[in-house]
Structures are given as structure tokens and as C-alpha cells.
Amino acid sequence: MSIKGPRTALEAVGQRRFLLGAWPWRSVAYLVSGACVAFAAATPLVLAGWQLGVAVAQGPLTRSVFLVAVGVAVVALAGPPVAIPLAELERWRLRLVDARPVRSGHRALGEADAPRRLRTRYTESATWREFAYACVLVTVMPVVAVVLGLVLLWIAASLVSPLLVQGSGPVALGPTSVGSVGEALPYALVSLALLPALPYLAAVLAGGQAALARVLLQGPSGERLRAELVEVSRSRARLVDAFEAERRRIERDLHDGAQQRLISLTLQIGMARLDVAPGSPAAESLATAHAQAKGLMDELRELIRGIHPRVLTDRGLAAALGELGDQAALPVTVDADLPGRFPAQAEATAYFAAVEALNNAAKHSGARRVRVAARHRGGLLTVEVEDDGRGGAEVRDGGGLTGLADRAAVIDGRMFLSSPRGGPTLLRLEIPCSTTDPSA
């Protein structure tokens, strides 16, 4: 069984063979290169700040306030465009101490987006997070680098202090100084004891900076997530639209093709029966064929209605629910108080929700009566189907109710189911939509 190694410098610190591995050197490389980047980025700001400070100190108060305001505005406006390539460099350097992938939080822009590229970047939260990291990099990191450098210089000076005092006299070690080997020896021993801790210190500092960089530079950002979610929702809607279009095409082909030919065949068989003597074997065969053709025509009509009822397309949801109640196997009361027509997807979703609920009531609930109610109030289309059956209905994976809930979610709708043991069962579908009938 393979053992997965540490992915970050902070994870590597807890390993027993940390000092023998590459993580200490990678941490040192990350800190040294980070210090170079920080000083390179901070130098122009320090020079500009020095000039601004001199101008502020030599001018009147109003001019000083104006210059400070201008300086802040320049940093706020020019900082984000500079922070973007700097963040890209930091994401590349992050691989030294963090093996996990890190992506930019910016949206990908094509050639068509070039005119508004700058505006898009200024409105992304990823840009301002990168700007915040750049501010930390040019202010805090140089201070940390200077402090760490002084600590390393003190340790190095303490280690060689017994040798230095012999040749050059007293040696300054920070706030104190030593003038003899006896005075310098304790500092040298302490520095020698601290040497094994330096790689751990470097790894902790590098890991801390890397963690901050990952928090501020990691993508995808909130805008990108929202854009991806919107695209997923749109793709789901496109799939549902394509599915609905295919259902209508199949319904139209069956209604205008197969059903019409079957009707013609039934009529021809009926006409042929008139030309055959009653009671003859041919008459009996034709009668059987005629009955089978009629039965097949009824089955085809039911199949077409199940795919996509013509009345739903021609007359709308209210009429389709009324016809559904008339043809149901149970006594159904339909109360469809609807002002007009609605988007085709909303009407289809509401209709097939009622179909699924009626089928479940007839097959599983043992209900004696069913009530179907449809309303449109405040931009919300609601359809309720309630039966007096035994209850216990559940939404299961792969079931018809799950498919209805998913279908409703595509158009921002919601499905609610209440079915306690002993009944009654109530299915409620809510779809936000507006009427498409101008006269409604």
C-alpha cells in the first residue's frame, strides 16, 4: 500500500524525516524568492511615498490633503491591474511549498470581451482579493524578511563570536556585546542548539504565507461559481426544452401519421365488412380485425396523450386538466381558476405533475376521490392534487416524483409532498411564471 506524502510545507513539518527531505530547501527558496518579489514591488512605492511625504511636509494643509487623496486614489486605481500579474507570479511560486493545484478566480475572456476587459476585472472580487494580497506582500513581507534576516545574522555572529573576539576584540551581538571567549561561548552554544530549528521555522513561515496566498488567490471566485451555476441551469433548461420539442415532434408524427393511417385502415375494414355476407368466415375475420384496429387506435390515442396531449398545446393547462379529470380512473374534481396561457414549459411541467399524482392515486393509494386545483396568484402558478387514500407516498431515487421535482427545479419551481400514513396525500407544485395571454 502506497503512503501519500505531504502536500504542503506545513504538513511536512510533522514528518519525522523532515530535515532529510527537500521541504526545508523548498521553504527557503519560497521565502527568499518571496522577499525578492516583495522588495522589488515595494521599492517603487517607497520612493513614490517618500516624494509624496516630502511634498506634503513642505506644502500647506489643503495641498497636503489633496496630495494624500490623489496618492490613495492612484494606488486604488492602478493597484488592481498591477496585482493581477503579481498574483499570477505568486500562484506559480506557490508550487514550491504547496503541491495542490491553485486556479485563478478570474473569468475567462474572449476576443469579444476585449472592450470591457478592464471593467470586468475591476468588478471581480478575485481582483480585489489579489490586490489585498499585493498590499500584504509589499508591506508585511519585507518587515518579516528583515526580522528573519536579523535573526539569522545574530545566530551566525553568535556561532563565530568565539573566533572573532580572539582576533578583533569585543563583538556586538544585538543589544549586548562579548569581549572574551568565555562570554561568547554561551551564545555560540545557544546558536548551535537553534540551528536544527531553523528549517522548521522556515517551513512554518513559508507555509503561513502560502496559506494566506491560497485563501486570497485561490479560484474559482464567487463570480465564477455563480457563472458556472448559471451556465449549468441554462444547459439544464436547454436539455428540457430539447426534450419537450422531441416529445411534441413524436406526438405530432404519431397524431398526423400513424393515427391517421390507422383510422383509414379501420374505415377500410369497416367498408369491407359491408361487402361480405354476414355470418361467413370472412365476415368473422373482418369483424375481429375491425375490433383489433379500434382497440389499437384507442391505445395509440392514449399513448399520444401520454407523450404530450394536443389539448394542452391548443387550449392550455386549464382545459388539459379538465380533460385529464374526465378520463381518470377515479372520480376527480377539477378546479382550474387560471387567467390564460402560460409558458409551454410551465404548462407541461404542471400537467405531468397532475398526471403522475393521479396515476399514483389510482395504482397505489386506494383513494376514492381526487381533487385537482390550479391557481395563479402573484406571479406563481400552483397546482395541487389531493387524494383520500392511505398515504405513505415517498420521493425515491429514480421515481416519477423525483423526476417531477428535478423538472420543476429547472424552471425554478418547487414540489412539495405531504403523505402521512393513513392519508391524505397532497402534492403541490409551485412554478414562478407570468401569463403569456395579453388579454388576461
Give the CATH number, domain containing residue 359: 3.30.565.10
- Residue 224: inside a domain, yes or no? no
My answer on whether 36 and 147 are in the same domain is: yes
- Residue 3: inside a domain, yes or no? no
Question: 148, 183, 217 — which closes off a domain?
Answer: 217
* pLDDT value at residue 352: 83
My answer on whether 296 and 341 are in the same domain is: no
As for how many domains the chain has, the answer is 3
My answer on whether 197 and 253 are in the same domain is: no
- Residue 298: inside a domain, yes or no? yes
Can you tell me the distance from the alpha carbon of 381 to that of 338, in angstroms, rounded to the nearest whole number? 9
My answer on whether 269 and 199 are in the same domain is: no
My answer on whether 321 and 297 are in the same domain is: no
Question: 261, 290, 307 — which closes off a domain?
Answer: 307
- Residue 383: inside a domain, yes or no? yes
- Residue 327: inside a domain, yes or no? yes
Q: How many C-beta neighbours within 10 Å does residue 384 have?
A: 19
* pLDDT value at residue 307: 60
CA distances from 221 to 7, 114, 126, 215, 228 (A): 23, 20, 6, 11, 11
- Residue 161: inside a domain, yes or no? yes
Residue in the block written with cell 374526465: 326
* pLDDT value at residue 2: 38
My answer on whether 173 and 78 are in the same domain is: yes
Q: Provide the residue range defining the domain that includes 332.
A: 314-432
Instruction: Spell out the per-residue pLDDT of the chain, length 440, in tens.
Output: 334 578 888 888 888 888 888 888 888 888 888 888 888 877 776 666 666 566 656 666 565 555 556 666 666 666 677 777 888 888 888 888 888 877 777 666 655 555 666 677 777 777 888 888 888 888 888 888 888 888 888 888 888 777 777 766 677 776 777 777 777 788 788 888 888 888 888 888 888 888 888 888 876 545 555 655 555 556 566 666 665 666 666 656 565 666 677 677 777 777 777 777 777 777 777 777 777 777 777 666 666 555 667 778 788 888 888 888 888 878 888 888 888 888 888 888 888 888 888 888 888 778 888 899 999 988 889 999 998 888 887 777 666 677 777 778 777 888 888 888 887 888 898 988 887 764 55
Given a contact cutoff of 8 angstroms between Cβ atoms, the answer to whether 336 and 372 are in contact is yes
* pLDDT value at residue 245: 63
Count Cβ neighbours within 10 Å for each residue of 195-222 and write b for 16 or more, e otherwise.
Answer: eeeebbbbbebbbebbebbbebbbbbbe
CA 10 from centroid of its chain's CA atoms: 29
My answer on whether 31 and 153 are in the same domain is: yes
My answer on whether 32 and 162 are in the same domain is: yes
* pLDDT value at residue 36: 87
My answer on whether 213 and 238 are in the same domain is: no
My answer on whether 102 and 134 are in the same domain is: yes
Question: 307, 341, 356 — which closes off a domain?
Answer: 307
- Residue 421: inside a domain, yes or no? yes
Count Cβ neighbours within 10 Å for each residue of 238-272 and write b for 16 or more, e otherwise.
Answer: eebeeebeeebeebeebbeeebeebeeebeebeee
User: Which contacts (CB < 8 Å, 24+ apart) does range 359-366 have?
Assistant: 359/400, 360/393, 360/400, 360/401, 360/425, 361/330, 361/385, 361/387, 361/389, 361/425, 362/328, 362/329, 362/330, 364/389, 364/393, 365/389, 365/390, 365/391, 365/393, 365/423, 365/425, 366/390
* pLDDT value at residue 221: 47
My answer on whether 412 and 333 are in the same domain is: yes
Q: How many C-beta neighbours within 10 Å does residue 161 have?
A: 24
- Residue 437: inside a domain, yes or no? no
My answer on whether 244 and 269 are in the same domain is: yes
